[in-house]
């Protein structure tokens, strides 16, 4: 049996956004908000699966559900100046990469951006830490008894 589609979708999303010009391979799966990163790991993306509210798409023995899953991405940078510009640049690269692979290899019907949070800044001293939360929605479909198989 394969992994739940949520895990498969999260992995495909991470693969899609890995290698961006600004963040490179610094894409981390399901790290807590207070997890400290080393300087060599920044700028970075944290990717977490959010909630979903499945709805019945068809009745019958093999009932099919539409499942709009939220994918939460935190963009993180740390530098002396230009951090707001870096957040916006990473956001652009993120949106372009996701738009180029909306089906995530056939796992989803679409993935699109649904929310961009306010940039947050913190830090005292020589470098400022900046972050921005971005949410995507990934619509996938699965049968009642097969949450590991994309329809």
Tell me the per-residue pLDDT of 114-140, one tens digit each, with 9 for 90 and over: 999 999 988 755 667 899 999 999 999
Q: Is the pLDDT of residue 7 over 60?
A: yes
Q: Answer whether 66's CB lies under 8 Å from 141's CB.
A: yes
Q: Which residue has the higher pLDDT, 50 or 128?
A: 50
Q: Do residues 119 and 130 make contact, with C-beta atoms less than 8 angstroms apart?
A: yes
Which pTM was predicted?
Answer: 0.92
Q: Are 10 and 71 in contact (CB under 8 A)?
A: yes
What's the pLDDT tens digit per position in 64-98? Answer: 999 999 999 999 998 878 889 999 999 999 999 99
Phi, psi of 140 (to 5 degrees): -130, 160
In this predicted structure, what is the pLDDT of residue 117?
A: 97
C-alpha closest to that of 67 among 130, 3, 4, 135: 4
Q: Are 141 and 150 in contact (CB under 8 A)?
A: yes
Residue 61 has what pLDDT? 74
Query: What pLDDT does residue 122 have?
Result: 81
Architecture of domain 5-143: 2-Layer Sandwich (3.30)
For 59, residues 6+ apart whose C-beta sits below 8 A from its C-beta are none
Does residue 20 have a pLDDT over 60? yes
Tokens of 118: 């306010």
Helix (H) or strand (E) holding 68: strand 64-79
Residue count of the chain, please give it: 151
Q: Is the pLDDT of residue 31 over 80?
A: no
Chain mean position to CA 67: 16
Position 37 scores a pLDDT of 77
For the chain, the C-alpha Rg in angstroms (whole number) is 17
Mean residue pLDDT of the chain comes to 91
pLDDT of residue 135: 98
């Amino acid at each position: 049996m394969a992994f739940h589609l949520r895990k498969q979708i999260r992995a495909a999303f991470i693969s899609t956004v890995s290698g961006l010009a600004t963040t490179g391979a610094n894409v981390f799966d399901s790290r807590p908000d207070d997890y400290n990163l080393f300087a060599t790991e920044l700028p970075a993306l944290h990717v977490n699966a959010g909630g979903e509210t499945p709805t019945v798409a068809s009745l019958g023995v093999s009932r099919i559900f539409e499942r709009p899953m939220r994918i939460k991405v935190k963009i993180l940078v740390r530098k002396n100046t230009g951090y707001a510009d870096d957040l916006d640049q990473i956001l652009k690269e993120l949106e372009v990469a996701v738009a180029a692979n909306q089906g995530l290899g056939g796992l989803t019907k679409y993935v699109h951006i649904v929310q961009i949070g306010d940039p947050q800044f913190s830090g005292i001293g020589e470098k400022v830490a900046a972050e921005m939360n971005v949410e995507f929605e990934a619509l996938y479909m699965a049968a009642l008894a097969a949450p590991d198989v994309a329809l």
